[in-house]
């Protein structure tokens, strides 16, 4: 039964990661980040896709046993997206010294993307995994 969480976590991460990548491509953050890091946008998209897949598996193992309704899945997803935003903001803030001059406010526009990623992760996981397998 535990393998179902791995498989559904991978599926959830892939679907949510594509949505998150699409949101990044609509904003100027992907372009700015690729210019700042000196890498292509394709690399940024692949990196975010891989991180999203890992995050989907972590969500599945962390919250998959606690989801019992659509509302709870979306609530856990949004909270998970908030946690990912906080962690990624802290990591980027302390990794790149140039960003410290702007303060943490520079990461506020990414909050909506992470919350939407979490919402989609919770919703997609709940739709992919039957209630009998969420225990």
pLDDT in tens, 93-123: 888 777 777 777 778 878 888 898 899 888 8
CB 49 within 8 A of CB 17: yes
CB 60 within 8 A of CB 4: no
Global pTM value: 0.83
Q: How far apart are CA 58 and CA 80, in angstroms?
A: 10
pLDDT class for 69, splitting at 50, 70, 90? Answer: confident
Number of domains in the chain: 1
Q: Which residue has the higher pLDDT, 55 or 108?
A: 55
CB 119 within 8 A of CB 78: yes
Domain-embedded: residue 80: yes
Q: CB-side exposure of 33: number of CA atoms within 13 Å?
A: 18
**82-to-2, 31, 40 alpha-carbon distances in Å:** 26, 23, 27
Q: Which residue has the higher pLDDT, 75 or 33?
A: 75
Domain-embedded: residue 44: yes
Domain-embedded: residue 16: yes
Find the Cα–Cα–Cα–Cα dihedral 128, 22, 80, 78, rounded to 10°: -80
Whole-number pLDDT of residue 132? 63
Which residue segment(s) compose the domain that 24 sits in?
2-127
Q: For tokens 């972590």, what's the residue?
A: 58
Tens of pLDDT, residue by residue over 22-51, are 777 777 777 877 787 788 888 888 888 889
Q: How far apart are CA 75 and CA 118, in angstroms?
A: 9
Domain-embedded: residue 132: no
């Amino acid at each position: 039964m535990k393998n179902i969480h791995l498989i559904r976590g991978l599926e959830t991460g892939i679907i949510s990661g594509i949505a998150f990548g699409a949101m990044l491509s609509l904003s100027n953050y992907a372009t700015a980040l690729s210019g700042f890091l000196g890498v292509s946008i394709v690399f940024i998209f692949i990196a975010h896709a891989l991180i999203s897949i890992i995050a989907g598996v972590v969500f599945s193992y962390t919250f998959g046993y606690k989801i019992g309704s659509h509302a709870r899945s979306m609530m856990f997803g949004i909270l998970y997206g908030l946690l990912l935003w906080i962690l990624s903001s802290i990591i980027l803030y302390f990794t790149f010294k140039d960003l410290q001059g702007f303060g943490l406010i520079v990461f506020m526009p990414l909050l909506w993307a992470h919350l939407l990623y979490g919402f989609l992760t919770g919703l997609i996981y709940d739709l992919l995994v039957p209630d009998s397998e969420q225990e």
